[in-house]
């Protein structure tokens, strides 16, 4: 799957036109999502930036993730990804917050339930709250690119759903 320039353009236009602020917490993708967003024409209107919290210590120090949560669930988990969102919201108060954790490489903590390619995505705004676990196949580069595409696709779909809900209330 490739990044859709049309979908990226709609996300770019929507966030800019609605004066929304977007901030990211990237673990496995290590800034790759931010690099894609920063290339959009209107990104300067809404994109605050990305916290790259690859190591658990960065999750604790920069976004105040509870160390006990990391010990209990691990840095790649739905619980920690949701906690990254809370940290972003507390510190930056954005209209849209996106967090991603995952395994692009084999490690001591990958398992049958969380193999290489496992990715947790969380997207939140006042209009939508989205959390998903994905499992991608391929090289580390392919996994990171697929996770980025999935994030953009889910942001796009969330925006469309939000627009449809607003229109139905009229």
List, in order, residues 6 or more apart from 45 with CB less than 8 Å away. 15, 16, 19
**Residue 167, Cβ neighbours under 10 Å: how many?**
8
132-168 pLDDT per residue, tens? 999 999 999 999 999 999 999 999 999 988 877 777 6
CA distance 84 to 18: 24
Q: How confident is the model at residue 33 (pLDDT cuts 50, 70, 90)?
A: very high
- Strand 96-102 with 118-124, pairing: antiparallel
Spans of all domains in the chain: 5-169
pLDDT at residue 170 tops 60: no
d(CA 147, CA 155): 12
pTM: 0.95
CA 54 centroid distance within chain:
13
pLDDT of residue 81: 98
CATH level 3 topology of 5-169: Maf protein (3.90.950)
């Amino acid at each position: 799957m490739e990044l859709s320039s049309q979908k990226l353009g709609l996300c770019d236009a929507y966030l800019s036109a609605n004066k929304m602020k977007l901030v990211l917490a990237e673990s496995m993708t290590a800034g790759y999502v931010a690099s894609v967003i920063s290339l959009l024409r209107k990104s300067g209107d809404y994109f605050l930036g990305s916290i790259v919290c690859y190591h658990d210590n960065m999750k604790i120090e920069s976004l105040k993730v509870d160390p006990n949560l990391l010990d209990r669930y691990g840095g790649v988990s739905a619980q920690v990804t949701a906690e990254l969102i809370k940290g972003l919201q507390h510190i930056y108060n954005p209209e849209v917050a996106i967090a991603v954790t995952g395994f692009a490489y084999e490690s001591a903590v990958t398992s049958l339930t969380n193999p290489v390619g496992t990715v947790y995505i969380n997207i939140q705004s006042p209009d939508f709250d989205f959390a998903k676990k994905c499992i991608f196949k391929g090289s580390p580069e392919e996994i990171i690119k697929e996770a980025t595409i999935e994030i953009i696709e889910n942001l796009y779909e969330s925006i469309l759903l939000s627009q449809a809900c607003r229109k139905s209330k009229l």
